[in-house]
Amino acid sequence: MSLFRNAEKAWLLLADGTLFEGKSFGAKGTVVGEVVFTTGLTGYQETLTDPSYYGQLVTQTFPLIGNYGVNSQDSESAKSYVGGYIVREWCEIPSNFRCEGNINDFLREHNVIGLWDIDTRRLTRIIRETGVMNGVITTDDPSAKKEELLKQLSAYTVKDAVSTVTCTEKREYEPEQKKYRVVLFDFGYKRNIRQELVKRGCEVIVVPAYTTAEEIKALAPDGIMLSNGPGDPAENTEIIANIREIEKLGIPIFGICLGHQLMALANGAKTEKLKYGHRGANQPVIDLESGLTYVTSQNHGYAVIGDTIPEEAGKVSHINANDKTCEGIRYTAFNAFTVQFHPEAHGGPLDTSYLFDEFISRMNKGVE
């Protein structure tokens, strides 16, 4: 008998009082978080294991999720960091030669509360029109405690995100033929960032988010990578101050997503929270130097305000073709460049993977 016909009820309550009734899959219980949506057609396992989604209830706009199952190779980290998961329909019997299991069992294994069989198109329109808002997914009927839940939602914020997801000790990864040594800051990094470096001959030393400039200097790296991660970038005052010291080491730096935002803040720029963020694998980005437009994968709710970057520090190198927000910075005061999007994305477009080659070139040549 189909699992769909036997599914228990589950609900999503938004902070504005809107209530969606659907069905439960994955784990059971109640979870509060920030409701966001992502437009990716594939890559749901990567989404579920991306630490940048910490504290968020993720809605998939694509209506069928789980049709190719899950496997042991495609996770971006060892666990799932999403608070909850919302889909229109999940595939009970996936089919793919790499499939090792289904998404329902995957969510249960990682203790992620799921909700399906709701109108995700309506939910997405609410978020687009009113902005990201808090919500609660629950497998307990919320009608009797709606006011109590709404109070919890009004008080909820994503806090201590980086300190929650970062590693606690350094880890080393060796390539087959070592050419470079790169320190990768773990602000909530995705495994494919590390893999892109390793396959280019980099020994990668993953370090905790609060590793100091002196500790980095002692490792004698050829390059420094500032990773993606969750939360409000401006909250990370200790890390921002440390980046200012790291810049003085004169080592080439490449930043992605949160790393891009933190470096901008360290150099006097400001960030802002976007109305509903950029999440998905189809975000168009314009390279201002070449004039080319690339299709990129993105996952962020904050952006650097481009015109706040001090002229003596650097300049905007990429912008989003839709809303013209800052998507990249090239620094002139020191050897560094950063991007808001994900050039390592899997699944997603590989249009901008050449940026890893530029990082390698900078380690070879220094400032161009």
pLDDT higher than 80, residue 12? yes
Mean pLDDT of the chain: 95
Say which CATH topology domain 3-158 has. Answer: Glucose Oxidase; domain 1 (3.50.30)
Quick: pLDDT tens for 197-255.
999 999 999 999 999 999 999 999 999 999 999 999 999 999 999 999 999 999 999 99
Quick: pLDDT tens for 116-150.
999 999 999 999 999 999 999 999 999 989 999 99
Say if 3-158 and 162-365 have the same CATH topology: no
pLDDT tier at 2, thresholds 50, 70, 90: very low
Token pair of 98, please? 């790499």
pLDDT tier at 348, thresholds 50, 70, 90: confident
Q: Tell the residue number behind the tokens 């004039």, with chain if given.
A: 291
Task: Please tell me the predicted confidence (pLDDT) of residue 1.
Answer: 33
Q: Are 351 and 294 in contact (CB under 8 A)?
A: yes
Clarify whether 344 is annotated catalytic: yes
Neighbours of 63 (CB within 10 A): 10
Going from the C-alpha of 138 to that of each of 35, 48, 117, 247, 293, the distances in angstroms are 14, 18, 14, 46, 42
Token pair of 123, please? 């939910």
pLDDT higher than 70, residue 177? yes
Catalytic residue among 110, 260, 300, 342: 342
Mean pLDDT of 86-113: 97
Going from the C-alpha of 298 to that of each of 320, 341, 345, 357, 368, the distances in angstroms are 11, 5, 8, 20, 28
Catalytic residue among 46, 203, 327, 344: 344
Percent of the residues in the chain that have a pLDDT greater than 70, as a whole number = 98
Catalytic residue among 203, 257, 327, 346: 257
Q: Are 327 and 285 in contact (CB under 8 A)?
A: yes
Q: Are 27 and 109 in contact (CB under 8 A)?
A: no
pTM: predicted TM-score of the whole model, two decimal places = 0.95
To the question of domain 162-365 being in CATH 3.30.2350.10, the answer is no
Clarify whether 257 is annotated catalytic: yes
CA-to-CA distance for 136 and 153, rounded, in angstroms? 7
CA dihedral 126, 128, 133, 136 (to 10 degrees): 50
Task: Please tell me the predicted confidence (pLDDT) of residue 234.
Answer: 98
Q: Tell the residue number behind the tokens 């013209």, with chain if given.
A: 324
Going from the C-alpha of 246 to that of each of 214, 241, 310, 336, the distances in angstroms are 8, 9, 19, 11
Q: Are 10 and 19 in contact (CB under 8 A)?
A: no
- Beta-bridge mates of residue 300: 278
Quick: pLDDT tens for 179-210.
999 999 999 999 999 999 999 999 999 999 99
Task: Please tell me the predicted confidence (pLDDT) of residue 349.
Answer: 81
Mean pLDDT of 15-43: 97
Tell which residue, 151, 147, 112, has the closest CA to residue 134. Answer: 151
Q: Are 229 and 51 in contact (CB under 8 A)?
A: yes
Clarify whether 260 is annotated catalytic: no
CA-to-CA distance for 191 and 76, rounded, in angstroms? 5
Percent of the residues in the chain that have a pLDDT greater than 90, as a whole number = 95
Print the SS3 string covering the chain.
CCHHHHCCEEEEEECCCCEEEEEEEEECCEEEEEEEEECCCCCHHHHHCCHHHECEEEEECCCEECCCCECCCCCCCCCCCECEEECCEECCCCCCCCCCECHHHHHHHCCCEEEECCCHHHHHHHHHHHCCEEEEEECCCHHHHHHHHHHHHHHCCCCCHHHHHCCCCCEEECCCCCCEEEEEEECCCCHHHHHHHHCCCEEEEEEECCCCHHHHHHHCCCEEEECCCCCCHHHCHHHHHHHHHHHCCCCCEEEECHHHHHHHHHCCCCEEEEEEEEEEEEEEEEECCCCCEEEEEEEEEEEECHHHCCCCCEEEEEEECCCCCEEEEEECCCCEEEECCECCCCCCCCCCCHHHHHHHHHHHHCCC
Single-letter code of the amino acid located at 94: P
pLDDT higher than 90, residue 365? no
- Domain extents for the chain? 3-158, 162-365
